[in-house]
Amino acid sequence: MISSGEIRNFLIYGVLLALVATLPFWGQDYWLTIGVTIASFAAMVTSWSIFSGPTHYISLSTAAFFGVGSYTTALGIEYFPELPYWTLLVIAGGLGAVMALLVGLTTLRLSGVYFVIFTLGLAELIRQVVTWLQNWSGQKGLYVLTDLGDREIYWQFLGLCVLVYIVGWLIQRSKVGLALRVIGDDEEVAKHAGIHSARLKVLLFMIPGAVAAVAGAILAPRYIYIEPMLAFTPLLSFQVVIMALLGGTGRLWGGLIGVIPFVLVWEAIAISLPNQTTLLLGVAFLVIVYFIPKGFVGILLDLRRRLMSGGREG
Amino acid sequence: MSATHNLLTLDSITKRFGGLVAVNTLSFEVESKSVHGLIGPNGSGKSTTLNLLSGALALSSGEITLDHSRLTNLSAHQISKLGISRTFQLVRLLPSLTVAENVMVGGLFGHRPYGFRDADRAVSAVLDRVGLGGKGGLMPGQLTYIDTKRVELARALISQPRVLLLDEWLAGLNPTELEAGIALIASLREECEAIIVVEHVMEAIRSLCDRCVVMASGSKIAEGDVETVLNQPAVIEAYLGGDDD
């Protein structure tokens, strides 16, 4: 059942989406570039939050999936030029999902810091393997030459965002959404209540894996030339986590309100202090975890609760 | 009254942790329509036995069967679905979920899963049942100790379990709460096919249990109806230290 409040929200989101979709027609190139970055992170951060938010399984493997997606596009264009472009996105998503399935089967028995470290190590491992393969084949990187511009890339990311939001919304309002929160609170209780936590975690972990791979596939043409250090940069995995925490994982829209300010500030820093970005990323991480552990969502929900209880009880 | 039958059978179950044998070839049967006590001094293996029954721990050897279904080597979620629900010795509520959501978890995934809409109704019915009517919207942190125990009981009950495992559910209650608690558990006889109670409170064992098993150092040292068992010299020596009551 869909409530009237939800229909109203859908209408609001629809209008907002239509507005931002017109950005390429009125925005300057600079803002379109920023728009691509925001939309790409919105998809990756939100899908990351769908799994890691409620379960508290912090994954640092976004870069691994993203890189595999980028290489799918690059290799597809190079070796299978007859394949339509969109099939590469589907293949990338499928590869990301299968990879997440394999990773999930081996790692989701780990918990806490062991899971975090394993996912980080995994991304690094895949980067090293791809680097080794490239050296072995005698190539340094791959050209990704298409006629896709920022405009087309931007629209593709908006489409991916819509898909991620719909999936996230369906999960949140289903039994699965509650099961994920139970796993995050106390996995032992989850199992004793009849939740097949191992299977659920593996299945849900496939979502951020597939989305990050599709994001990599969509973004590859923008780079024109990709190499392992670029496609598998560990920085990406950390950026996704920081933006998710900044926005707050308690609500689906948390990702977006973390991504927008972060990307804008990041761009400003990258221009004025290009050599200190990693340092400042670390500082931002500490500040967010220490001062706003529940992110902007937490602040907004607290504020609303206070306003409502003030209104009712005085 | 219809006849009773063996519902749950533990056949020589053993649990080893390295060199330590926490439960040693323990066997007993639980009849339908009964409340079965499991007692013994601290460290005698009662909670481990409950953990083996609920699937929290895997057996080292032995067999557990529920009405001819083998529970041996099944995981906790499978056992829960077959109709064994439990509470925990140290209450484990889900801190980020409301009381109603905590209870709903048992109703959506357990032995007799409800759809979302029916689950709402079942939650308020079971909350009323355990004395938490009107408290569904509270967070676990806002509850008194006995109420947290009631929530856990409601979460186990909503799945309509065949066997209910209560791990020291009455521990830590004051005399008034204890009386209410015993009455509540006694009233559950009609709802579950069997109840297994791990308890230190003798008053509760005496008034609730049809039979009991006494454990010491991982082994069964006595079994039978409560009064007979509690008067056995071995039990008095091992468990009660000679000063029963």
Which pLDDT score is estimated for B244? Answer: 40
Check whether A201 has a pLDDT greater than 70: yes
Check whether B243 has a pLDDT greater than 50: no
Q: Among A182, A234, A178, which Cα is nearest to A59's?
A: A234
What are the Cα distances from residue B147, in Å, to A57, B32, B169, B170?
30, 29, 11, 12
Neighbouring residues of B188: CB distance < 8 A, sequence distance ≥ 6: B157, B164, B195
Which pLDDT score is estimated for A312? Answer: 53
Confidence of residue A86 (pLDDT cuts 50, 70, 90): very high
Confidence of residue A178 (pLDDT cuts 50, 70, 90): very high
Enter the CATH code of domain B1-83+197-240. 3.40.50.300
In the chain, the amino acid numbered B224 is G
Dist CA A90 CA A159 (whole Å): 13
Q: List the structure tokens of B173.
A: 């209650």
**Does residue B62 come out as left (phi exceeding 0), alpha (psi in the -120 to 50 range) or beta?**
left
Task: Look at B56 and A194 and tell me if their CB atoms are within 8 Å.
Answer: no
Helix (H, G, I), strand (E, B) or coil at B221: strand
Check whether A25 has a pLDDT greater than 70: yes
The interaxial angle of helices A234-247 and A113-137, nearest 10 deg, is: 150
Check whether B1 has a pLDDT greater than 70: no
Check whether A43 has a pLDDT greater than 80: yes
- Give the torsion sign (CA, A273, A277, A279, A280): positive
pTM for this structure? 0.89
Cβ-nearest to A196 among B77, B95, B97: B77
Chain B positions in Cβ-Cβ contact with residue A181 (cut-off 8 Å) = 94, 96-97
Dist CA A285 CA A291 (whole Å): 10
Check whether B2 has a pLDDT greater than 70: no
Task: Look at A185 and B80 and tell me if their CB atoms are within 8 Å.
Answer: no
Helix (H, G, I), strand (E, B) or coil at A44: helix
Check whether B242 has a pLDDT greater than 80: no
**Chain B: residues touching A (Cβ < 8 Å):** 54-56, 75-77, 80-81, 85-86, 88, 92, 94-97, 101, 104-106, 108-111, 113, 116, 155, 159
Task: Look at A193 and B159 and tell me if their CB atoms are within 8 Å.
Answer: yes
- With CA atoms as reference, the chain A residue closest to B82 would be A194
Minimum distance, in Å, between the CA of residue B76 and any CA atom of chain A: 5
Chain B positions in Cβ-Cβ contact with residue A193 (cut-off 8 Å) = 77, 80, 105-106, 109-110, 155, 159
Cross-strand bridge partners of residue A28? none
Check whether A142 has a pLDDT greater than 80: yes
**Mean pLDDT computed over A71-77:** 92
What are the Cα distances from residue B234, in Å, to A98, B202, B223?
60, 17, 11
Which pLDDT score is estimated for A9? Answer: 85
Minimum distance, in Å, between the CA of residue A250 and any CA atom of chain B: 10
**Mean pLDDT computed over B191-217:** 91
Confidence of residue A314 (pLDDT cuts 50, 70, 90): very low
Dist CA A134 CA B22 (whole Å): 55
Instruction: Name the average pLDDT for chain B.
Output: 91
Which pLDDT score is estimated for B239? Answer: 66
A115 versus A204: which is more confidently predicted? A204
Task: Look at B92 and A189 and tell me if their CB atoms are within 8 Å.
Answer: yes
CB atoms within 10 A of CB B203: 14
Task: Look at B108 and A197 and tell me if their CB atoms are within 8 Å.
Answer: no
Neighbouring residues of B145: CB distance < 8 A, sequence distance ≥ 6: B91, B172, B173
Dist CA B212 CA B209 (whole Å): 7
Read off the pLDDT of residues A274-294 as tens digits, 9 standing for 90 and up: 888 888 888 888 888 888 888
Confidence of residue A311 (pLDDT cuts 50, 70, 90): low
* Beta strands per DSSP E along B46-204: 61-66, 69-70, 84-86, 163-167, 194-198
Check whether A242 has a pLDDT greater than 70: yes
Express as a percent the part of chain B with pLDDT over 90: 73
Cross-strand bridge partners of residue B163? B84, B194
Cross-strand bridge partners of residue B36? B196, B211
Chain A positions in Cβ-Cβ contact with residue B105 (cut-off 8 Å) = 178-179, 182, 189-190, 193, 195
Interface test with A, best of B82, B108, B167 (most A CBs within 10 A): B108
Read off the pLDDT of residues A159-168 as tens digits, 9 standing for 90 and up: 999 999 999 9
**Mean pLDDT computed over A112-123:** 86
Q: Among A168, A141, A51, which Cα is nearest to A100's?
A: A51
Which pLDDT score is estimated for A214? Answer: 98
**Which run of H or E residues covers position A252?**
none
Confidence of residue B115 (pLDDT cuts 50, 70, 90): confident
Cβ-nearest to A192 among B76, B108, B113: B76
**Mean pLDDT computed over A7-35:** 90
What are the Cα distances from residue B2, in Å, to B5, B33, B190, B208?
10, 10, 13, 21
* Whether complex ipTM tops 0.95: no
Check whether A313 has a pLDDT greater than 50: no
Q: List the structure tokens of B200.
A: 């230190």
Check whether A213 has a pLDDT greater than 70: yes
**Mean pLDDT computed over A290-302:** 87
Task: Look at B96 and A184 and tell me if their CB atoms are within 8 Å.
Answer: yes
B116 versus A84: which is more confidently predicted? A84
**Does residue A164 come out as left (phi exceeding 0), alpha (psi in the -120 to 50 range) or beta?**
alpha
Check whether A47 has a pLDDT greater than 50: yes
Check whether A187 has a pLDDT greater than 70: yes
| Domain hosting residue A227, numbered range | 4-313
Cβ-nearest to A193 among B56, B106, B116: B106
Which pLDDT score is estimated for A197? Answer: 92
CATH number at A29 reads: 1.10.3470
What are the Cα distances from residue A267, in Å, to A33, A34, A46?
11, 8, 20
Read off the pLDDT of residues A243-283 as tens digits, 9 standing for 90 and up: 999 999 888 889 999 999 999 988 888 888 888 888 888 88
What are the Cα distances from residue B106, in Å, to A178, B75, B137, B207?
11, 16, 17, 28
Cβ-nearest to B94 among A175, A185, A196: A185
Minimum distance, in Å, between the CA of residue B177 and any CA atom of chain A: 25
The interaxial angle of helices A62-79 and A29-55, nearest 10 deg, is: 130
Check whether A190 has a pLDDT greater than 80: yes
Dist CA A44 CA A215 (whole Å): 7
- With CA atoms as reference, the chain B residue closest to A200 would be B77
Confidence of residue A134 (pLDDT cuts 50, 70, 90): confident
Interface test with B, best of A2, A55, A192 (most B CBs within 10 A): A192
Check whether B73 has a pLDDT greater than 80: yes
Confidence of residue A131 (pLDDT cuts 50, 70, 90): confident
Tally of structural domains, chain A: 1
Neighbouring residues of B196: CB distance < 8 A, sequence distance ≥ 6: B8, B30, B35, B36, B37, B38, B50, B53, B163, B164, B165, B166
For chain B, the C-alpha Rg in angstroms (whole number) is 18
Chain A positions in Cβ-Cβ contact with residue B111 (cut-off 8 Å) = 194
Chain A positions in Cβ-Cβ contact with residue B54 (cut-off 8 Å) = 192
Cβ-nearest to B97 among A181, A188, A197: A181
**Chain A: residues touching B (Cβ < 8 Å):** 175, 178-179, 181-182, 184-186, 188-197
- With CA atoms as reference, the chain B residue closest to A173 would be B116
